[in-house]
Structure formats: C-alpha cells, structure tokens
Amino acid sequence: MNNIKLPADDNSCGWFEILSPEYQQHMSEPNPISGVEKTDWLVIGGGFVGMSATHRLAELNPEQRIVLVDAQKIGHGTSGRNSGFVIDLPHKSDLVGDDIERKRKVIELNRAAIQYLEDKIMRHGIECQWSHAGKLQGAVSERGVKFLEHFQRLLKELGEPHEMLDQASLRKVVGTQYYQQALYTPGCPLMQPAALIRGLLAHVPENVSVWEETPILNLERRNGTWVAQTANGQVHAKNVILGTNIYTEQFGHMKSRMLPIMTFASMTRPLTDEEFSAYGGTADWGLTPADHAGTTLRMTQDRRLVVRNQYRFVPNYNSDLATREKIHVMHRESLEARYPMLKAVTFEHTWGGVLSLSSNSQAFFGELEPGLFSSCCHNGVGVARGTISGKLLAEMASGGDSKLQQNMQAVSGMPARLPPEPFLGIGVRARMAFAKWQSRSEV
C-alpha cells in the first residue's frame, strides 16, 4: 500500500481550538506503538463510527481487549468539524425518493443514535453544550420556500411535529430579517462536536487502549489475523472495524465509489453584551438551509456565530491556506449580509472538513471481508448515522442481531462506481458550479 493518503486537516478548526486545555491534551497511550500489539479488536478511526463502535465493543466484550487508533488527535478530524447538529429527521440524501417506510427507518435509527449519545453524556457528565434546541430550516428566496413546503408535506405525511415561522417570528430567534421563513422541528439536539467526541474519548471503558496520532500505513490479513502496520510497530487483531469514511479506500475498499467533498466554516469570537443586545436574537440555535447548497448558521451557547457554506471537490482530502483565506472573505460577506450590525465582530477560526458523497445516495454498512467491518459514505449526515452504525457494527461483529440492525441494512447499500479522472473532476466541478449558481440567492 504505497503512497497512502493520510489525514492532513488544517489546524484552525474552531470547535477544537476553543476546547478547554484538559480536553485538548492527549487522552491516549503516552508512547508510540512499537513491536507487536495483540488485540481481539482493532478500531481504526476515532470519529463517531469508531468511537461508538469502541464503546459498544467494550460493553459487549468486557473480557476482551479493544485497541482504538487514529491518525490525528481524536476530534481534530471530520468528527470535530461538523456544525453540531444531531439530526433526527431525513436530511439531504435521505429525503430522496418516495419510500416513506425507508424514511421511517431512518428516523428510528437517528433517534436511537441521539438516545445513545445522550445516555453517555448524562452518565459521564460530558460538557459539550448538548441541548434540545431543535433545528430551523431557513429559506431566503422563493426557491428556498418551495423546498420548505415540500419538506413540510413530508413531515405531515410522517406525522412529525413542526412549526412554520414567518419572517417576524424567526427574527426574534435568529436576530435577522434575511430569511423569508423557516420550518422548525424540535427533535434535533445541538452540541459542540469536538467537545462531545473528546468527552466520549475520556470515558472509554478500561479494556480499551487508545493511540492518537498513529496512522495505519498498511492493513492486510495474514493466516486469519489482521495485521495493521504503524510507523514503528504492528497491531495484530482478530477483527477490525473501519471508522475511516473517505479514507476507507486507502485500505483497498470502496475505491472510486466515494466523492471527497470539503465544506468550510468560520466561527466568530464571543459577542459582547452590547453586541448581543444589538443582534437582538437568542442564543443556542441552529439553522440549516432549505436549499442544501445554501448557508448553515449556528449561534452557540457562548454567543459565537458559526457560518458554513462553500464546497470544494478535494481529491487529496485537504485544502490550502490560500483557499481558506478566500473562503474566509466569502463567509464575512454571508455574515454581514445577515447581521450588518455585527461588522466589528471578527472571525477567530476558518476551517475545512471532508465528507464523502455517493452518486446514488447510498451509504455502506457491513462486512467487507471476513473479520473486517465498515460504515462509510454517510452523504453529509454523519453524526447520527455514524453513531448508530458504529454501535450496530459492534453488535453485528459480536454476533448480535436486532431490529435496528436490520433497519440499518435495509437503508444501506453500495455506493455506485464513479467515472475515472479526468472525467470525474470535470463533471463534479461543473455540477457543483451549477448548483452554486442555482442556489446563489440562498447563500
């Protein structure tokens, strides 16, 4: 496995940078892996898939050893770079199609993930700004309003509670008249993603050994044992769970089936009392765009505004400083268009995070080879999907079965094969440019 692509995320992720010092410090084994580490279970990747799989494996197999490794500090990668929504309802690709029963299965899975996370948060006292604030979906233009109306019809068909807010009612919450209206749904918790994943890391069970900043450079099966090569040693495992998302293809699986797309966000410093008064809204809310290519907004409990928009196709899974500086300017334009009274409020952090998309809206869940399990390609809804699929992978690999596991298999599939380069890059960039043009009024 030569020329393997390793995570190389930027060092400006706001969620990670504002963590308390004790959460930023290493919570893993102090020395690099050297020689051979033998284990019953190896989990590669400490995001939401890997973390929930690790916890569940330890619960189900208390007499067995679990090793969790991550190429970066856990929470510094994709798991700590999302916008902090744990969405319960069908969202993005899960809205595709008319299969209402499939959508009900998605809701059941998402809510099981929420309950699993909340149980961990309450049991361990994890401080991550967890709240049942719900989610707003906002429309700027008539194009966005039509998306909202379509979603509202689906919610009525599903029997899900919701409220349509007009411009005046919405302004009292979000402090801006920029949006025509918004659809509010109450079942989506909000949180600080890096704090949540670091909190889960701090409370892994005693039969778990963790190594951060330990890339796996090669993975192969030898005589029925999985051998993972690190810079200075090896991990020999009976079973492996890949919580590696787009990096799964670096281990020889899902090649040419996942699109690496980077989304970008910027976070302000906390608003002063005077600035918060001028803003005129409330704290602790989240708004996703009615049109998926629009702008996501968060107001955190500590009065920081987070703006997320702009997408890039990133074959190398990372972005350069020049790109982020340009996007920083675009985010300022989006912020000031909504909050002209906050022009003096600066962004402290601008970062990118990689997600994986499939051309047929399918996510994978299951066994890739004997003893090798994976859940990946979550199409931009990875917190809930990653959490519950990691838990269910651990149960499947441990020989269990359940209705939830059957539901997960029913809503999963195989991401379609993508065309080769240069046709892939040309097509993806053209499609993204067209989507950006279509959604220009919503950004």
pLDDT value of residue 229: 97
φ, ψ of residue 156 in degrees (nearest 5):
-65, -40
Domains of the chain (ranges; CATH) run 14-81+194-258+360-411 (3.50.50.60), 130-189+259-357 (3.30.9.10)
Residues in the chain: 443
pLDDT of residue 433: 85
pLDDT the model gives residue 93: 77
- Say which DSSP state 131 is in: B
Contact 277, 265 (CB under 8 A): no
**pLDDT value at position 2?**
53
Whole-model pTM? 0.96
Under 8 Å CB-to-CB from 401, ≥6 apart: which residues? 395
- Dihedral of CA 8/12/13/17: which sign? positive
Q: What is the pLDDT along the chain (443 residues), one digit of tens a residue?
A: 557 899 989 999 999 999 999 888 889 999 999 999 999 999 999 999 999 999 999 999 999 999 999 999 999 999 999 999 999 999 877 887 889 999 999 999 999 999 999 999 999 999 999 999 999 999 999 999 999 999 999 999 999 999 999 999 999 999 999 999 999 999 999 999 999 999 999 999 999 999 999 999 999 999 999 999 999 999 999 999 999 999 999 999 999 999 999 999 999 999 999 999 999 999 999 999 998 889 999 999 999 999 999 999 999 999 999 999 999 999 999 999 999 999 999 999 999 999 999 999 999 999 999 999 999 999 888 899 999 999 999 999 999 999 999 999 999 999 999 999 988 989 989 988 888 788 777 77
Region of 366 please: left (phi>0), alpha (psi -120 to 50) or beta. Answer: left
Pair of tokens at residue 167: 């411009």
Question: How confident is the model at residue 442, as a pLDDT?
Answer: 77
Judge contact between 106 and 94, C-beta under 8 A: yes
d(CA 279, CA 323): 29
Cβ atoms of residues 235 and 33 within 8 Å: yes
Nearest to 264 by CA among 344, 325, 175: 325
pLDDT of residue 262: 96
Three-point CA angle 197, 75, 45, nearest 5°: 90
Q: Give the per-residue pLDDT at 411.
A: 96
Burial class of residue 30 (count of CB atoms within 10 Å of its CB; 0-12, 13-18, 19+): exposed
Give the Cβ contact number of residue 222 at 10 Å: 8
What pLDDT shows up at residue 92? 79
Q: Which amino acid is at 72?
A: Q
Question: In whole angstroms, what is the distance from residue 89 CA to residue 114 CA?
Answer: 11
